[in-house]
Structure 1
Amino acid sequence: MRDAPRQTVAWRALRAVLADRVAATGRESLDIVDAGGGTGGFAVPLAKLGHAVTVVDPTLDSLAALERRAAETGVGVKGLQGDAADLGEILKPDSADLVLCHSVLEYVEDPAGALRAVRGILRAGGVVSVLAANPFATAIHRSLAGHFDEARQVLADPSGRWGDRDPTPRRFSRDALSGLLAEAGFTVGEVHGVRIFADLVPGMLAENDQEALIALEQAAATHPVLRDIATQLHAIAYR
């Protein structure tokens, strides 16, 4: 439950997408691909809802953990080894209703190429859900930790990095993320802010009233100012 304030906004958007695609296709079970889905934090709950889920991830250890997690939950999830950029070689064209690309574009060698590969496996009208790190939130977090020079570096760096020791290769503003999706041939829909307050509020306060914090996160998710300082941006885009 402690992660609920950090995940509720993304899950709320995903449930709306699922409902829309079920209505549009007339199929209760959708074909979903989780690119870089790791140990199944999203994939297993989606499979539990009755959807056919395939996880593509480069790490065998993560896929083994996914298999154990799915077995413990009593659902079937298919795991395949590979990178997001290789989706077109691993899966058939026009085979997915929804592709999750969560915390992937920050790390792949070619974000634009990865999104083109995602588009290639989506059916007409299919949806991609992208979660990506936001540089403006990083600047705020580094400043709150007293690293003012690093916060300033985030704002100046084209990739939104705070220095050579930054473990995240790149971050995306809302405009940059929307532009990347558009260039890959997607029509960008809603962009939500995820973890706007949840990463700023002290843990004890967050746990004291999670319901109120979740409500605050949901209220701020599309706020024209607050959205842009979220830790992550969640974009929904359509083929």
Structure 2
Amino acid sequence: MSDQTPPVRPRRGETPSRASLRTAVVWEVLRDALDRRAKATGRDALDVLDTGGGSGNFAVPAARLGHRVTVVDPSPNALFALERRAAEAGVADRVRGVQGDVHGLFDVVERGGFDAVLFHGVLEYVEDPAEGVRNAVEALRPGGALSLLAAGLGGAVLARALAGHFTEARRALGDPAGRWGEGDPTPRRFTAEQLTQLVGDSGLEIASVHGVRVFADLVPGVLVDTEPGALEALLKLEEAAAESPAFHAVATQLHVLGEKRG
């Protein structure tokens, strides 16, 4: 694990990185949601909860924007890395890490105390996805936003097929959890329809749905690394395809932004 928080989106004039390909679409949606919430409340500093936020890939950039971020994660090692990264970024006073998980969320954080909740890469691993989403929503203040990022079923099927693992691709396609076999490290995958239903059933309004890593995981690295400007062009392609429902079915991840009625 790197000691530096990878960029969520390259700044203007910067060369994009592989890390920015994985996070740029989500960060743009999240940053816009935080900006809207700040304007609506008249508060520059919002309270953000990052469930399963690990070492701070989103928490630290959000704190750099001036927000107060609480990270809940079951791993002491991840929280230690978070503390170090926040200190290196000069935002230690705005980032707090607590050990816990989404099922016991209100043992460690306040119910209804946050303007935004990040629920990234967690839903795949919880025993009861509906309960996990409900808890995340209950942590929101009225008018707050839920940023939900989870593994996409179609992206996994396509990746296995393109790798020549046709039987595994077919198994994932028909498996209720979207798993391609016993060796699959991801316990559960989702379609866009499943995620929007989970968010909608929790009482939130669906603000947007985006496909994440539609092409980035499929393009051979040698093409991106050797062609001048290829990484920037791929990033722009990812951003252009992210909003198109036609590409949601083949995205490696799916991002849903839900908003709680005020």
- 2:237 aligns with 216
- 2:72 aligns with 56
Q: Distance in 2 between matches of 1:122 and 1:4?
A: 28
Pairs within 5 Å for 1:219-230:
219-230=240-251
Moved more, 194-203 or 3-12: 3-12
Residue 184 (structure 1) shift: 1.8
Residue 152 (structure 1) shift: 0.1
Q: Distance in 2 between matches of 1:112 and 1:2?
A: 32
Pairs within 5 Å for 1:165-180:
165-180=183-198
Q: SS state of the match for residue 190, structure 1? A: strand
Pairs within 5 Å for 1:4-153:
4-76=20-92, 77-153=95-171
What's the CA shift string for 1:137-182, capped at 9, x where partnerless?
0001011111100000011001100011111110010001111112
What's the CA shift string for 1:173-221, capped at 9, x where partnerless?
0001111112222222200000001111111222332211111011100
Q: Is the 8 A contact 1:198 1:206 kept in 2?
A: no
Question: What count of residue pairs does the alignment treat as equivalent?
Answer: 239
Q: SS state of the match for residue 62, structure 2? A: helix
What's the CA shift string for 1:48-81, capped at 9, x where partnerless?
1110000000011110111111111111210000
Q: Distance in 1 between matches of 2:46 and 2:224?
A: 35
Q: Which runs of 5+ in 1 are unaligned?
A: none
Q: Which runs of 5+ in 2 are unaligned?
A: 1-16
Q: Distance in 1 between matches of 2:78 and 2:215?
A: 29
Q: Distance in 2 between matches of 1:20 and 1:238?
A: 11
Q: SS state of the match for residue 245, structure 2? A: coil
Work out the percentage of aligned pairs sharing the same amino acid: 52
Q: What TM-score does the superposition give when structure 1 sets the normalisation length?
A: 0.97
Residue 227 (structure 1) shift: 2.3
Q: Does 1:155 align with 2:173?
A: yes
Q: Is the 8 A contact 1:94 1:121 kept in 2?
A: yes
Q: What TM-score does the superposition give when structure 2 sets the normalisation length?
A: 0.89
Q: Distance in 1 between matches of 2:210 and 2:52?
A: 21
Q: SS state of the match for residue 124, structure 2? A: coil
- The one-letter code matched in structure 2 to 1:35 is T
Residue 89 (structure 1) shift: 2.3
Q: Is the 8 A contact 2:25 2:212 kept in 1?
A: yes
- 2:182 aligns with 164
